[in-house]
Amino acid sequence: MSDAKHKESKGPHLIGSPEALSLFSESVSSLWCPSSIEIITHLPSPQEFYALFVAKNRPCILRLDQGLPQWKMEDIQEMCGKNSMITVNVTPDGHGDTIRKVKGGDTKITKMFVLPEERSMSIEHFLERLRHNSLSNKMTSDSHELEILKIQDNQQKEAEELQEKVAESRIRDGIFYYSLQNDCLRKELPQLVPHVDHYFEELLLWAETVFGTGPPDAVNLWIGPSQAVSSIHKDYYENLFFVASGEKVFKLYPPCDSPFLPIEELCTSRFRQQEDHKWNVVTEENINSSNEPYKTPWIDMNKTSVYDTYRHPIIVHVKEGDILYLPSLWFHQVSQTCETVAINWWFDMQFDSPLYCYFDLLQNCRIQP
């Protein structure tokens, strides 16, 4: 996720009384945060869109009748070539970048932040895996019942060998999701760029005027089955998210919900499938210290409290042909109802604004016990 690009403020937390934060939550509901988001059927002027949505940090859906592409995975394969190589995220159950209960060698159970395993494969092979996923039982997006996995020290020789070996016998199982991010469309599949430009050149010039921060920092391609789930996170970008085929489901929380979303700093690990097809996790090394494990701050939605009712969740179904405008700093969990192909553009947010400063303050606000 793009959170890694920016460091969170650290230091003593500000303490808010339950009464003060309750009033704050009520004000958010009555004055700013919608219970549903607006659907726009015509492209407004950049000035109008900025005033209605960007300046107010409000999401919306652009449902435009502009003949946008309805690409499926087969179309991507045809445009890029079946032998084009891509980096695919693989997990045992579709949940990557997630908090997971892990059993260590001493049988002690602990929580860790777990990244997906990354595998290089051809587009043709990835398509085969997607079709295999579609025959599997559809998993729930509820992360409460994830299996406890064993932890493996990444100093072990066999872990290094497994990282390099991508044999056919290892990849029969798991959920395959193309979700590399980090400008993956332009970096891994440059053959797609002229096709994307053909359909979206006018829209992207409009967006550059709206956001005022130049061309997009990244263009990402997302291809996954119904089992794939992205856990709740935020991005420091203005996000335009287009669904070419299928349907995405976003569960949104506004930036002001930050005090009510429990964050933990957890040791970081990565899924790894062994030659016997069993899954475990391998700890990530800390490049700054050989003695301390690398840690990641992440939201643990399995934690509950009486203050959960202070949140303002919004469920948004982004259908084929829709473009979701997701403002910077909005928290979101993402799933899909079926095999889905999507493209998104990340435009850098304006950090020299009150919005970011206020959000940084809220991130350090906690409820008084």
User: According to DSSP H, which parts of the chain are helical?
Assistant: 18-27, 46-49, 73-80, 123-135, 157-164, 184-188, 193-211, 354-363
Please report the pLDDT score of residue 12 as a whole number.
52
Q: What is the pLDDT of residue 143?
A: 39
Q: Please give the chain's pLDDT, 369 residues, in tens.
A: 555 445 455 555 666 677 888 888 999 999 999 888 999 999 999 999 999 999 999 999 999 988 999 999 999 999 999 999 999 999 999 998 999 999 876 778 889 999 999 999 999 999 999 987 766 544 333 333 455 667 765 444 444 444 444 333 333 579 999 999 999 999 999 999 999 999 999 999 999 999 999 999 999 999 999 999 999 999 999 999 999 999 999 999 999 999 899 889 999 999 999 888 889 998 876 555 556 778 999 999 988 887 889 999 999 999 999 999 999 999 999 999 999 999 999 999 999 888 888 888 888 876 655
Residue-by-residue DSSP string for 287-318: TT-SSS--EEEEE-TT---GGGGG---EEEEE
pTM over 0.85: yes
- Helix 123-135 to helix 73-80 angle, to the nearest 10 degrees? 170
The Cα–Cα gap between 56 and 365 comes to 22
Which residues fall within 8 angstroms of residue 137, CB to CB, at 6 or more apart?
none
Q: What is the pLDDT of residue 278?
A: 87
Residue 119's pLDDT is 97
Question: Are 207 and 213 spatial neighbours (Cβ–Cβ below 8 Å)?
Answer: no
362: tokens are 């809220």
CA atoms within 13 A on the CB side of 269: 29
- Residue 135 is predicted with a pLDDT of 61
Distance from C-alpha of 331 to C-alpha of 27, rounded to nearest angstrom: 19
CA-closest candidate to residue 336, choices 253, 245, 271, 252 = 245
Give the dihedral of Cα atoms 169, 269, 335, 124; nearest 10 deg: -30
Provide CB contacts within 8 A for 156, sequence distance 6+.
Answer: none
